[in-house]
Structure 1
Amino acid sequence: MLGWTDDRLLADVLPKKEATALTKAFGYTTCQDLLEHTPRAWSRHGSGVLAEDAQEGDMITCVGEIMGVRHFNTRDGKGVIRVAINDGRTVFTASFFNSSYVGRVLREGSRAMFAGKLKFYRGEPQLQHPDFLILPRPGERAAGSASLKTLSLYGDPDELLRGLDHVPIYPATSRVASWRIMAAIRHILTTLPPVPEPLGEVPAGLISFDEAVRGIHFPGPEGPEPHLERLKYNEALTLGLVMALRRLETLRRHAPALAPVAEGHRARLLGDLPYELTAGQRTVIGEIAGDLSQGEPMSRLLQGEVGSGKTVVSLVAMLQAVDAGRQCAMLAPTEVLAVQHARTLTALLADAGVPVSVVPLTGSMPVAVKRQALLDIVSGQADIVVGTHAIIEDTVEFFDLGLVVVDEQHRFGVEQRARLRAKGREGQTPHLLVMTATPIPRTIAMTVFGDLEVSTLRELPGGRKPITSYVIPESKPDGIRWAINRIGREVEAGRQAYVVCPRIDGDGGVHQVYELLGHGPFRHFVVGYLHGRMSSEDKDHIMGRFAAGEIQILVATTVIEVGVDVPNATVMLIREAENFGVSQLHQLRGRVGRGGHASTCIFHTLHDNDGRIAGVAATTDGFQLAELDLIHRQEGDVLGTSQSGTARTVKLLNLIEDYALIERATHDATELVARHPLLAQRVVLEIDRTDREFLEKS
């Protein structure tokens, strides 16, 4: 937790039974584990704990005032006590069977915590025989179900529960209730010595770290907000320090200084392009030229929409390196894309009369062709090498590598980029340009990609027509017929179409949809299919036929998300669009509209009124959609934490709402690394190995 740990074992601080229960329920073994189990809500005077946000079957904990207690008997003579509870926003009921004790202690006007499985009866929320704990007011005594005995392990329950300004509500289980966690944390905090400031002083305008660690669980009248703000700042600062240290480490390396040559290949290409560069392209080309001219390695991220002109920008950068006598490597995620890039670059160079060699290198190349490619690379005959993971292999040696370009950077880990950059000459690190067609929200750019300078292409080159999007639910058969007819009209007009499916097999899968369409409404057209289980040769063959116009309608999975450029494709139908992420839908949609023809994307959904899909259809601005993506996804998933364990490092930050705080922490981290790099390194040592792996792979 930013330079501070509490490694005391739970078993050494808590009653043995409680330590065992917490370890079994949550896997926690140390006091810090439990202190980082922060409340999901805080109830002040019995309000605001989000009971109405839960789903049926969820284990919920809520605090409320008892509005009434009713006693009655069922037909078979069982005594029932039904308690009406108001949590400040929702009125719900709790039912107890054959419990005279409940009837004595639960009284109208009392305030209590309830924990149990949520059910709905005629639309009304209710709990059946929940655990409960009365929160005593002046003159009242603590009372409750069996959990009260657990609280007694920590002392007088009245003393524990009375006078809480805000009652913490913790993520709990059916066996370990929220108040049991609360009692354990309270006990740990009473034994915890003052928590030191990791940076030596309290950041201006924030509370102390010690106050935050304690107040996040038991805030006073001020509420949890100032405690949350300080802990969020610590999380953002931790990430900022890691990125600032990585930037510092990069600056300590040496790279070849590749100044532009006035009469070189770069200048010739720029002078002979058949179209006008956008203002954004010219700006980014200037930024990259400045970086390449320095003796420190460039580390730059170029983000831009599909079709915004990233490829030509990267070619200009590569020619700047070639002019300086260096080689370039372009890494692509698939063989299809690597071959396309090689062809595109070769065509651009040929059109401008630039005598620079482009050599593809992929795993499936014939042995003789691959052997010749390797010879060209090691001898320096190959100026630009375009390939897949094959170019990272130990057998590939460069004569003098000066620039590495990585396309669709999210498909590669940092260790893969590092292996490629290690192929430079002894003592020198090649420059690095990574590219993505998935726009990155500002907070992600600061936290996950904070070690990279960021360039952005927002304009689309002239001639591209806008894409019109529609949402059609399965429940609207007229809409489905319209979509089929629209595809048919486009194909009859000489255009091509994609139909994207969320799966390969089964209902709604590629194989089924291919059969239904190919033998049904599109039986007079040439229909093909494509998916990830096909061999590389078959995939290349199908994509080649589609690119050549031999296949009119292609039924595929998201394998086409990053694929060949087919300007003649003008319509796409995405089936069951709710199965795809916002960014993925935007990437898929970008496969059409790449020529000079008006284009259409149709989002089919199984559900009516899907707000997320409607949001995607409403705009083609990838930067707006990146923010929408962040809203609809858990921040941990965006950061990759669910796979890496980094949830312990980034747990409280909200990547939409906390932009100002992240910006401040990033600035503070940069300043701290500049002033005290050793202190910064010591502070971030607490990030565990899996967290470091995640951050490195970002």
Structure 2
Amino acid sequence: MTNPVMSIHLPVTALAGVGQALANRLAQLGVVRIFDLLMHLPRDYEDRSRIVPIGMVSHGMSVMVSGTVTWVEKNRTGLSVTLEDESGLLVLRFFKAYASLLGVMTVGAKITAFGEIKVSRYGVQMSHPEYHLTGTQQTQTGLLPIYPTVKGLHQNKLRQLVRLALQAVANDRIYSVPDAMLSAAGLRLSGDFLSALKQLHLPDRHADIFAQTELLSQLKDRSHPACRRLIVEELVAHQLSFLFRRNNVYRQKAPKCQANSALAKKLAGSLPFSLTQAQQRVIHQAVVDMTSSQPMLRLIQGDVGAGKTLVAAMVACHALDSGWQVAVMAPTEILAEQHLANFQKWFAPLGINVGWLAGKQTAKERTTALQAIADNQVQIVVGTHALFSDNVVFAKLGLVIIDEQHRFGVEQRLRLTDKSLMGSTPHQLTMTATPIPRTLAMSMYGDMDVSVIDELPPNRTPITTVTINRERRDEVIARIFDNCKAGKQAYWVCPLVEESTALDAQSAQLTYEDLVERLDIRIGLVHGKMKAVDKQAVMAEFKAGKIDLLVATTVIEVGVDVPNASLMVIENAERLGLSQLHQLRGRVGRGEAKSFCVLLYQAPLSPTGIERLNVLRDSSDGFVIAQKDLQLRGAGELLGKRQTGDMGYYLADIVRDEVLLEAAGKIAAQLIGTAEMMTTATAIMNTWLPQAQNYVNV
């Protein structure tokens, strides 16, 4: 008897006939476990459920036809067979006339064939069809699944493997969401996990023509009840992983911090402006979290220029006043150095030592920095991913501040929980300048509380955004020259570092050389392939006003604050995501001068391309822009491939399945909220997300 639950987790090599070579091909499709094979769902279906009259076929259709052979012609290019029924005729084309084929294709033979129709000046043809003598039933009928595949892996082999997988798990006890919970969430999705899979891989071949058409439509757009059942199961599994992870962190002890902070009052008093109401609200939310011995897990969202870093600094004061160290981490050295400059500016006058830890330090500098951190000689440590290193140990780490959270994986973030010699788990405050739509936040940060700074400081200058065809590039260059001669500074952003033959996009290097030749102003170049020290030197000169125009790649997307820069040109804007364009645009408008962002595009634009650029031109609301970006380009473009790859969805789509995501959150909370359902909850999560066991202690 099959061992309950276990076979679905076995590697595909457990299936008969799957050796290492075949397993390697399947691995290219992301199929490693038997479960992966079951969730390798068809991308389309061939309708072999009915015979289509030849007179009703059209170009591009994959159909089954039946008729009588009325002509057979063998020539040097192969074999041509004319097939007729009462409605018309078509030609079956075979490029090899082998003996068995000639034995079947004879005048008067009744033939049933399946293939793709091509209509051209040579008439109606079907090349290399599958065929059999009518009545012999030698080909498969009904709706046949078409799977995503790779070279060397035939559709018939995949169909066979899926059938073997379904047989292998037939006796497994596969835990799934109880029907009662689905009903309570307003979802009418009866049937269990296995029956849903069978409907998708082996759809009903006995439905009538009209029902078959509707079935095909539902299977393709994932609206079929069987699809929705699996989507709910998958979303529930992800929500459970968040809840388990959150509860696991909450079981640990965090340092209690003071609700009142003298240091925070001093910092606020040293500022030349007042905090916004939104900033004060978010600070209060975080401080309330930190007054508990339960670790804070809070994400701060805020649009470009909303003052997130200052909020983090104010929250840090409460940890510092309570005797704890603070770690501030950023994904790039440019952004980390920006934070270092801000934290030193704010805290050095208040007697707080701010340290630095990054990959570019010499061995001696790093040793000194590590010793200072371990001895509590520095109270705030700013750095990059170097803070994750095993040899970094804090004397009393009480708060971790992570900027641009989506650029770090879950495992990295959780590695910071054991960095303190005191044995406590630090509070975690993460920030992102990428406004995240609610559904995406639920699917990416379900283990965190979310605070939104929904108010910009009153000193932010509105930015006028215009879209201009690249044919008018010379006019834009002239405007840049006038702008810089008037004492202002500008950015020119290019998507690529070097010239590419594959993409019609201006490289930063060539643009820099062109502008240096044409303009009598001071021009600098910065891109991600430069050495860190050279990059920082150029950025420092630009900030000091020694460079008028900075040509750059998207490396300046975050962390660059130059108030005198009032004009930005983004070349080939149609190639960048809306949220990324919005981030880049936020580098201007930081001073008193009226600011402009010019989106240079290459015509012709697709209707979607026009819609995207119009959204950016007409809106300055990052959340509106992010929602549109999510709809048009998906989570991978909004947050970056690295992080969204961790989402690991087989079937779910967070835009399409927004309603199901809401229901899944409620169901997950119910499952984890009762002791008798804990086995079911754990099994569901482990089935869909076996890797979750690496960071969830259940």
TM-score, normalised relative to structure 2? 0.79
- Tell me, in whole angstroms, the C-alpha distance in 1 between the residues paired with 2:91 and 2:564: 61
1:215 partner amino acid? Q
Give the Cα separation in 1 of the matches to 2:508 and 2:561.
21
Match of 2:175 among 171, 192, 198: 198
Partner residue of 1:542 out of 520, 523, 538 = 538
Whole-angstrom CA distance in 2 between matches of 1:426 and 1:577: 50
Deviation at 1:653, TM superposition (A): 0.5
1:525-564 alignment to 2 at 5 Å?
525-564=521-560
Partner deviation per Cα, 1:239-290 (whole Å, 9 max, x = no partner): 111111100101100011113226x111333455432333321221111011
Conserved 8 A contact 1:196-1:210: no
Q: Which residue of 2 aligns with 1:582?
A: 578
Matching residue of 1:142 = 137
CA distance in 2, matches of 1:105, 1:311: 82
Distance (Å, rounded) in 2 between the aligned partners of 1:70 and 1:487: 74
- How far apart in 2 are the matches of 1:356 and 1:12? 60
2:480 to 471, 474, 487: 487
By how many angstroms is 1:420 displaced? 3.6
Displacement after TM superposition at 1:345 (Å):
2.8
Q: Which residue of 2 aligns with 1:219?
A: 203
Q: Displacement of 1:311 after TM fit?
A: 0.9
2:257 corresponds to: 258
Q: Is 1:501–1:574's contact at 8 Å kept on the other side of the alignment?
A: yes
Of 154, 168, 171, the residue aligned with 2:145 is 168
In the TM superposition, what whole-angstrom CA distance separates every residue of 1:435-465 from its partner, at most 9, and x where no partner exists?
A: 1111223233222211111112232211222
Q: Partners in 1 of 2:20 and 2:129 — Cα distance? A: 20
Task: Kindly indicate whether the alpha-carbon contact (under 8 Å) linking 2:388 and 2:412 is maintained by their aligned counterparts in 1.
Answer: yes
Are the aligned partners of 2:115 and 2:126 in contact in 1 as well (CA < 8 Å)? no
State whether structure 2 residue 415 is matched by structure 1 residue 432. Answer: no
Q: CA deviation at 1:509?
A: 2.1
Which of 399, 402, 412 is the aligned partner of 1:403? 399
Distance 1:115 1:78, change over 3 A: closer
Paired with 2:91 and 2:493, the residues of 1 have a C-alpha distance of 47
Equivalent residue number for residue 6 of structure 1: 8
The corresponding residue for 1:294 is: 292
Q: State the match for 1:662 in structure 2.
A: 661
* Cα distance between partner residues in 1 of 2:620 and 2:632: 17
Q: What SS does structure 2 have at the residue aligned with 1:470?
A: strand
- Whether the 8 Å CA contact 2:395–2:422 is kept in 1: the answer is no
1:559/1:367 Cα in 2 relative to 1: closer, same or farther (>3 Å)? same
**How many residue pairs get matched?**
640
Say yes or no: does 1:238 pair with 2:237.
yes
User: Counterparts in 2 of 1:169-568, with a 5 A limit?
Assistant: 169-172=146-149, 178=155, 181-182=158-159, 185-186=162-163, 189=166, 193=170, 196-199=173-176, 201-202=178-179, 203-204=182-183, 205-207=188-190, 208-220=192-204, 223=215, 224=219, 225-261=224-260, 264-271=262-269, 273-349=271-347, 354-364=350-360, 376-393=372-389, 396-474=392-470, 477=471, 479-506=472-499, 508-520=506-518, 522=519, 524-568=520-564
**Separation of aligned partners in 1, 2:323 and 2:155:** 66
Deviation per CA, 1:374-400, whole angstroms, max 9, x where unpaired? 565444343322223444445554332
Give the distance between the partners of 1:393 and 1:258, measured in 2 at CA: 26
Which structure 1 residue ranges, 5 or more long, are not aligned? 48-55, 86-91, 149-156
Letter in 2 for 1:210: L
Q: CA deviation at 1:627?
A: 2.8
The 3-state SS of whatever aligns with 1:6 is: helix
Distance 1:690 1:483, change over 3 A: farther
d(CA) in 1 for partners of 2:7, 2:573: 45
SS in 2 for 1:216: helix
CA contact (8 A) 1:61 1:178 kept: no
- After TM superposition, give the deviation of residue 500 of structure 1 in Å: 1.6
In the alignment, residue 666 of structure 1 is paired with which amino acid?
G
Distance in structure 2 (CA, Å) of the matches to 1:128 and 1:398: 71
Q: Is the 8 A contact 1:303 1:440 kept in 2?
A: yes
Corresponding position of 2:54: none
RMSD (Å) for aligned C-alpha atoms: 4.3
